């Protein structure tokens, strides 16, 4: 063996492990990807030349190995338990009462952690080296998934630091972060491969691969939540044990906290529940554990769960219900969306009776028929989705099933429908002849972030279009109080109010106006970029595609949509009619976008008292700053109100300055 090569291999291994822990565990890359890849290639070269230098802990071994024919069984030396559930604040209080009674103390300290919605895994380190990993299985016997767990980038193959027990069994959850899941599914869809229903299924499927080279390509991440068998010394509290694991390089939850008493547990629960949709991964509740290990031992176990821990569950995000029928809705751009009518169910805290079915392909993919029992998911604040059909309904009578037939003409205006090459959606070609499209166009035009016509709600838009009082957005500005007062549920007072709101809305800004036109794919941010670039509406309407593509955010497809809008005579007619009706905006100059904060990128998060996040962002932009929704190394400042969670943490870890609302208000006074 060549000693120089051995030395180089050892140095490269250590460096790659450090870089990958920084990247995958701490979310703080130390070097560009290319440097990482180059070091990895060099190590692979050395190991190919001198195979005796390749240890099982080598970073090159994270790419997986030859497929197994089956997983071997692993008997857990200590059973992997489950948790009792609490479904309400009262359940939690009852749990705390049992703990206090048994311990004969007035209050105990709890360690609070998110309950990650993934797959439970046990990982054994012997002499600091990863020697075995297993699934939970039935709690007594699991499957040996060592080869797969070795590919998980944030799992250390070798622990570092001092006082590492000779035998250390770490237990935790393997998940796929939501954004990585979305990317992974989008890629699968592009390649025509099967997509996954949710991150938990994807994590489970990835760990169940007999071919660990496939697992290696999945964005799995591990978080430790406890220890199993340990031969060696550990601290005497749960939180301190987890901290020790973290010191040795094992990832733990950054959201972990210790609190005293059950009231504080409930506050922690409320706080995390409010951040649930913003967390980087799915959680299904909060786990509370008696922190002191001596107290844990006194409390002991009942059957399969400890008496010293409980999971306070969030309302389920997935439930099953029946598909009663399908309506077809026509949107602003003529897109016809199938909307599922469901037997109402309570999911993630609200009653849901509709869900989107997206397009004909989705209906086919799900193989769903009217009458089917379906699984409905509502994660965060997204529109409820149907994730799958329950094929086996078990005993009892299932209703007749009927096929979903996509309409061949527009359900609103009877015009033809087309599906363009490469498009998933079916569209009505009726344009403004189609009342459904016209209504959607007007709703968008009047909406808060567009022309902001207060009081022009959905019901009123319905009536205005159905009565023929409005045939284009420009007609809104020619409505009379008498016309409005003639409508159902419109008194003279509300007519006058609406007239005033319409009049007020005439004075707008160019970005708002562009956004309000409802050009396909032109959202608020694009509208702003277009306004800043072209400064006048005429310049924008005259711009050829290649110039449009020079604007931030605008690619060939958006450019094409803008061109299509601008070259349509009817649209041009509406634009002049709007301007004739007095719609106007202050002229922009090339300096706009400059300001005391120009060049800065801000993120606003958490709850604010003095104004809404929207307003804060508008004011920041007026001062020249850009506003973004996620924190990165490029972020200049984060304005964080109470309840700010992962974004604040990310900013802290990146060293991005964080200010609170009071500081922001002082800053505004100085700047504006």
Gap between the Cα atoms of 268 and 290, Å rounded: 15
82 binds ligand IVH (CB under 6 A): yes
Question: Shortest distance, CB of residue 155 to ligand IVH, whole angstroms?
Answer: 16
For 103, what's the count of Cα atoms within 13 Å in the CB-facing half-sphere? 23
Are 310 and 288 in contact by the 8 Å Cβ rule? The answer is yes
Question: Strands 335-347 and 350-356, how do they pair?
Answer: antiparallel
290 bridge partner residues: 110
Gap between the Cα atoms of 125 and 14, Å rounded: 18
Residues binding ligand IVH: number (CB under 6 A): 15
Enter the DSSP assignment of 193.
Answer: P
- Closer CB to ligand IVH, 20 or 135, in the complex: 135
- Closer CB to ligand IVH, 46 or 83, in the complex: 83
> What is the sign of the dihedral through the CA atoms of 498, 501, 506 and 512?
negative
Question: Shortest distance, CB of residue 336 to ligand IVH, whole angstroms?
Answer: 42
- Closer CB to ligand IVH, 85 or 601, in the complex: 85
Residues 192-231 that bind ligand IVH (CB under 6 A): 225-226
Contact window for ligand IVH (CB under 6 A) among 1-9, 81-89, 429-437, 575-583:
81-89
Name the closest residue to ligand IVH (Cβ).
120
| Interhelix angle 569-580/556-566, nearest 10 degrees | 70
634 is annotated as an active-site residue: no
Gap between the Cα atoms of 165 and 162, Å rounded: 9
- Closer CB to ligand IVH, 115 or 648, in the complex: 115
Question: Shortest distance, CB of residue 301 to ligand IVH, whole angstroms?
Answer: 8
- Closer CB to ligand IVH, 64 or 285, in the complex: 285
Token pair for residue 235? 């601290």
Please list, in sequence order, all residues whose beta carbon lies within 8 angstroms of the beta carbon of residue 234, skipping any fewer than 6 positions away: 165, 227, 241, 244
Residue in 53, 108, 116, 152 binding ligand IVH, rule: CB under 6 A: 116
- Closer CB to ligand IVH, 83 or 374, in the complex: 83
Token pair 């299924």 in the structure block, residue? 201
Residue in 115, 238, 378, 444 binding ligand IVH, rule: CB under 6 A: 115
User: Which SS3 state, helix, strand or coil, does residue 146 take?
Assistant: helix
Question: Shortest distance, CB of residue 78 to ligand IVH, whole angstroms?
Answer: 10
Torsion of CA 336, 342, 345, 346, to 10 degrees: 0
User: Which SS3 state, helix, strand or coil, does residue 633 take?
Assistant: coil
Residue in 47, 96, 169, 173 binding ligand IVH, rule: CB under 6 A: 173
- Closer CB to ligand IVH, 123 or 311, in the complex: 311
81 binds ligand IVH (CB under 6 A): yes
| Max intra-chain CA distance, the chain | 96
Pattern of binders to ligand IVH over 124-143, x per CB under 6 A?
A: ------------x-------
651 binds ligand IVH (CB under 6 A): no
287 binds ligand IVH (CB under 6 A): yes
Are 474 and 574 in contact by the 8 Å Cβ rule? The answer is yes
Enter the DSSP assignment of 398.
Answer: P
Contact window for ligand IVH (CB under 6 A) among 78-86, 380-388, 521-529, 538-546:
78-86
306 binds ligand IVH (CB under 6 A): yes
Gap between the Cα atoms of 302 and 483, Å rounded: 72
Token pair for residue 437? 């499209």
- Catalytic residue (choose from 102, 115, 493, 634): 115
Question: Shortest distance, CB of residue 287 to ligand IVH, whole angstroms?
Answer: 4
List interacting residues with ligand IVH (CB under 6 A). Answer: 81-83, 113, 115-116, 120, 136, 173, 225-226, 287, 306, 309, 311
Question: What are the residue numbers of the active site?
Answer: 115
């Amino acid at each position: 063996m060549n000693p120089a090569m051995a030395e180089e291999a050892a140095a490269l291994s250590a460096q790659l492990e450090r870089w990958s822990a920084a990247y995958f565990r701490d979310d703080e890359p130390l070097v560009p990807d290319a440097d990482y890849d180059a070091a990895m290639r060099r190590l692979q070269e050395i190991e190919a030349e001198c195979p005796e230098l390749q240890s099982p802990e080598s970073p090159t071994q994270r790419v997986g190995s030859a497929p197994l024919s089956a997983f071997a069984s692993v008997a857990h030396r200590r059973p992997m338990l489950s948790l009792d559930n609490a479904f309400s604040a009262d359940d939690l209080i009852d749990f705390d009462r049992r703990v206090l009674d048994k311990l004969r103390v007035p209050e105990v300290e709890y360690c609070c952690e998110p309950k990650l919605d993934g797959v439970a895994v046990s990982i054994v380190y012997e002499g600091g080296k990863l020697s075995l990993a297993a699934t939970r299985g039935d709690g007594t016997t699991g499957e040996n998934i060592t080869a797969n767990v070795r590919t998980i980038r944030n799992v250390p193959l070798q622990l570092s630091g001092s006082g590492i027990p000779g035998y250390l069994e770490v237990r935790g959850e393997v998940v796929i972060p939501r954004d990585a899941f979305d990317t992974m599914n989008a890629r699968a869809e592009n390649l025509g491969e099967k997509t996954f229903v949710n991150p938990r299924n994807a994590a489970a499927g990835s760990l169940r691969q007999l071919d660990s080279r496939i697992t290696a390509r999945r964005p799995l991440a591990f978080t430790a939540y406890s220890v199993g068998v340990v031969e060696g010394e550990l601290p005497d509290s749960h939180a301190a044990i987890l901290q020790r694991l973290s010191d040795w390089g094992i990832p733990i939850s950054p959201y972990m906290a210790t609190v005293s008493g059950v009231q504080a547990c409930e506050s922690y629960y409320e706080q995390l529940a409010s951040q649930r949709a913003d967390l980087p991964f799915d959680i299904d509740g909060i786990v509370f554990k008696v922190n002191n290990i001596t107290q844990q031992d006194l409390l002991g176990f009942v059957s399969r769960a400890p008496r010293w821990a409980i999971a306070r569950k969030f309302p389920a995000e997935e439930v099953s219900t029946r598909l009663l029928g399908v309506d077809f809705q026509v949107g602003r751009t003529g897109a016809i969306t199938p909307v599922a009518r469901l037997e109402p169910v309570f999911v993630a805290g609200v009653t849901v009776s509709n869900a989107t079915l997206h397009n004909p392909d989705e209906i086919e993919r799900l193989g769903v028929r009217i009458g089917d029992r379906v699984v409905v998911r509502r994660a965060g604040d997204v529109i409820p989705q149907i994730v799958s059909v329950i094929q086996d309904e078990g005993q009892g009578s299932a209703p007749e099933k009927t096929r979903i037939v996509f309409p061949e003409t527009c359900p609103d205006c009877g015009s033809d429908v087309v599906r363009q090459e490469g498009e998933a959606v079916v569209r009505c070609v009726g344009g403004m002849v189609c009342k459904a499209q016209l209504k959607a166009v007007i709703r968008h035009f009047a909406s808060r972030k567009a022309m902001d016509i207060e009081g022009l709600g959905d019901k009123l838009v319905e009536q205005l279009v159905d009565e023929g009082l409005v045939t284009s957005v420009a007609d809104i500005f020619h409505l009379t109080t008498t016309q409005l007062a003639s409508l159902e549920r419109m008194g003279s007072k509300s007519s006058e109010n609406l007239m005033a709101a319409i009049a007020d809305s005439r004075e707008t800004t160019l970005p708002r106006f562009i956004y309000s036109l409802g050009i396909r794919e032109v959202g608020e941010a694009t509208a702003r970029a277009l306004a800043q670039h072209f400064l006048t509406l005429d310049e924008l309407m005259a711009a050829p595609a290649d110039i449009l593509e020079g604007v931030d955010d605008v690619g060939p497809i958006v450019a094409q949509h803008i061109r299509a809008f601008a070259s349509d005579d009817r649209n041009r007619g509406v634009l002049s009619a709007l301007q004739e009706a007095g719609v106007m905006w202050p002229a922009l100059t090339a300096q706009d976008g400059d300001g005391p904060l120009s060049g800065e990128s801000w993120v606003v998060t958490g709850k604010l008292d003095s104004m809404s996040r929207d307003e804060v962002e508008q004011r920041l932009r007026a001062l020249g700053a850009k506003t973004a929704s996620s924190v990165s190394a490029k972020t200049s400042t984060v304005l964080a109100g109470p309840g700010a969670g992962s974004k604040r943490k990310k900013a802290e870890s990146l060293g991005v300055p964080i200010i609170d609302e009071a500081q922001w208000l002082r800053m505004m006074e100085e700047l504006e």
